Amino acid sequence: MLKLQGKDVYLAALERQDCMKLCKDDEYDFANPTGPILFGWSVENCNEWYEEIQKLLKENVNIRLGVFLNDGTVIGDVALQGIDEKNRSCTIGLNIAKIANRNRGYGTEAVKLILDYGFQNLGIERVAADTLEINMPAQKALGKLGFSLEGRARQSEYFRGNRYDRLYYGLLANEWRKAEAQL
């Protein structure tokens, strides 16, 4: 079984019970909102999510791994999504479930591990990411990891009574090698 080891976290396959725990632990940060809230996840939804992870893995479209603390506690998930083998590109996604585990470097470390795997082992040459303009932690982490702001969809998202820009980032394999050397 694949295990990507970092300093404070490791990445490994998500088991059904890990998906259940992440659904149960998921907290919305009302003080620092970064996107729309999703209410209503049930046990059935978590089972469907686990089944979707397995299906997309078999189709070689997504690689979604759990983010685990070194003591084995699952705290989130990270994914290379929409893998396009012809164009050697994909997008990246991350979620850290509990507020207490956010802004502690765990997400950045998880993204670093999966980027390294994607560029080194899958031959990915371009990774894209996007976030709302109000998600400052994501912007900071993407910049630290070497992503470049490539575009902005102005006022494309309506959230909490306001319109926000969606920011689009990209990272090329050669840029990753330079950024990785500085991390």
pLDDT greater than 80 at residue 15: yes
> Tens digit of pLDDT for each residue in 110-156?
999 999 999 999 999 999 999 999 999 899 999 999 999 999 999 99
Task: Using CB atoms within 10 Å of the CB of residue 128, give its burial: 0 to 12 exposed, 13 to 18 middle, 19+ buried.
Answer: middle
Work out whether strand 162-172 and strand 126-132 pair parallel, antiparallel, or are unpaired. Answer: antiparallel
pLDDT greater than 90 at residue 57: no
Could you tell me the CATH superfamily of domain 3-182?
A: Gcn5-related N-acetyltransferase (GNAT) (3.40.630.30)
pLDDT greater than 90 at residue 160: no
Task: Using CB atoms within 10 Å of the CB of residue 31, give its burial: 0 to 12 exposed, 13 to 18 middle, 19+ buried.
Answer: exposed
State both tokens at 157. Answer: 């998202």
State both tokens at 172. Answer: 């090329």
- Structure-token match 């490791």, residue found: 10
Going from N- to C-terminal start, the domains of the chain cover 3-182
Work out whether strand 9-13 and strand 126-132 pair parallel, antiparallel, or are unpaired. Answer: unpaired
> Tens digit of pLDDT for each residue in 58-114?
888 999 999 999 999 999 999 999 999 999 999 999 999 999 999 999 999 999 999
Global pTM reads 0.92
Q: Which helix (H) or strand (E) holds 139?
A: helix 136-144
User: Residues of 33-59 as b/e, b for ≥16 C-beta within 10 angstroms?
Assistant: eeeeeeeeeeeeebeebbeebeebeee
State both tokens at 97. Answer: 């479930």
Tally Cβ neighbours within 10 Å of residue 148: 12
